[in-house]
Amino acid sequence: MVFENTLEFARALDAQDPLRAYREQFIFPQHAGQDVLYFCGNSLGLQPKAIRPALLAELDHWAEHGVEGHFRGEMPWMYYHKFLTEQSAQLVGALPHEVVVMNTLTVNLHLMMVSFYRPTAQRFKIVMEAGAFPSDQYAMETQVRFHGFDPAEAIVEIAPRSGEDYLRTEDILELLEKEGDQVALVLFSGVNYYTGQFYDLEQIAAAGHRIGAAVGFDLAHTAGNVPLRLHEWGADFAVWCSYKYLNSGPGGPAGAFVHERHADRPELPRFAGWWGHDEGERFKMRKGFRPMHGAAGWQLSNAQIFSFAAHKASLDIFHQAGMESLRAKSIQLSSFLQFVLDEADAGQNRFRTITPRDIAARGAQISLLTDPNGRALFDFLAEHGAIADWREPNVIRFAPVPLYNSFEDVWRLGELVQRGLRG
């Protein structure tokens, strides 16, 4: 599509947008009596209007039934995690028994590594992208130390080539082949939080398995952002959170995927809890852990009902909209954003984009590496009602989210950036 940097053109795109009505299902913070320009969904998504009644319904359920709320009503608490299974599976391209909503992201990452990072004297390394989100870095470091290895030797990070901003798939595959039978685990983000690069997860999973390693993905910036086919791609496990693109509220519950080839492997080491124990035997309170079939066998505790209720309200929206439709709009939104940002900086070289311009290689994000005045530009945007994200030392991240961002939002952001650059 040939874009035009005009308000009329942006409004014309909005008028043609089949998803435009979903914007009305979200609550926007206010600035000077107007909706903010919210481009921070890669950090915390906006609140769906459906969440408040969902929470109130559970409060009323508690008030009416007390402890019997675990067994009464249309959605008894005893089985609440099951009410999120089908939609979660559709969201990440998995079979229902391969997914479970539980805990929080880094808790799930550690639980998965207990089972799938099984280092030996020969095969002990973890391969990951350099500059991964700190949660991943710290989890890797402490898991490696827990097993008695030195992180400096055991963690192999791959960085972009000199002078480049994001990774080449061929370099990842070459490194995996080089490290070969020393690699115990390959762990990559789905979408890099800093650059917005969407990695080729299918190729990474296949390459990791060719060298005999386990493969896992952190999908914190990926679930609800791009379509996924986890079952088909074949990774051993994946984890994700729900408060970014999934709009389920701060500290919202996380998800986990375990491929079906591990569905009935009770011999796999794991840190168990009673909610992961055989459902038919759970309340007999006997010794001897017998895991549930599939990902549910990694559960620790019963559901946090209020956060699960918020998550269910958000998953309902994704189920209605569909990830393929969301992705189509996301590509168009991010492409329009790239266009207006390029126009704003034309001839000035005040920033450069470090997100891939190849639409297949990025999620709903454009990251700008700014000149030394970047913080002033970011502050100008905030003062004028545009909420984005600042990352040290000098990167501004914008996330045009297809569920609630409009093309007019993007155009207005471009206008603000242009004004901010003029000082």
Write out 75-130 in H/E/C secondary structure.
Answer: CCHHHHHHHHHHHHHHHHCCCHHHEEECCCHHHHHHHHHHHHCCCCCCCCEEEEEC
244 an active-site residue?
yes
Task: Give me the torsion for CA of 423, 357, 369, 325, rounded to 10°.
Answer: 80
List the structure tokens of 118. 């099984």
- How many other CB atoms are there within 10 angstroms of residue 261's CB atom? 10
Q: C-alpha 362: how far from its chain's center?
A: 13
Annotated catalytic residue, options 312, 329, 397, 412: 397
Catalytic residue, candidates 136, 200, 218, 236: 218
Q: Report residue 177 CA to chain centroid gap.
A: 28
Between CA 297 and CA 302, with CA 301 as vertex, the angle to 5 degrees is 100
Residue 99: partners with Cβ closer than 8 Å, 6 or more residues away = 85, 88, 89, 92, 255, 256, 257, 295
Name the catalytic one among 244, 329, 362, 412.
244
User: Helices 51-65 and 305-321 sit at what angle, rounded to 10 degrees?
Assistant: 140
**Residue 63: both structure tokens together:** 């008030």
271 is catalytic: no
Does the annotation mark 229 as catalytic?
Answer: no
Which residues in 81-92 are b (16+ Cβ under 10 Å) and which e?
bebbbebbbbbb
Tokens, residue 8: 């009329």
Q: For residue 49, indicate whether it is catalytic.
A: no
Backbone angles phi, psi at 68, to 5 degrees: -70, -10
Cα separation, 258 vs 385, in Å, equals 42
Choose the catalytic residue: 166, 243, 318, 380.
Answer: 243
Active-site pick, 26, 39, 80, 133: 133
Count other Cβ atoms within 10 Å, centred on residue 157.
14
DSSP 3-state of 258: strand
Which of 226, 229, 272 has its CA nearest to residue 42? 226
Q: Is 264 a catalytic residue?
A: no
Cβ-count burial of 359 within 10 angstroms (0-12 exposed, 13-18 middle, 19+ buried)? middle
Beta-bridged to residue 114, according to DSSP, are none
Residue 362 DSSP one-character state: B
Q: Is 208 helix (H, G, I), strand (E, B) or coil?
A: helix
Angle (CA) 18 22 24, round 5°: 130
Pairing of strands 34-35, 30-31: antiparallel
Residues annotated as part of the active site: 133, 218, 243-244, 397
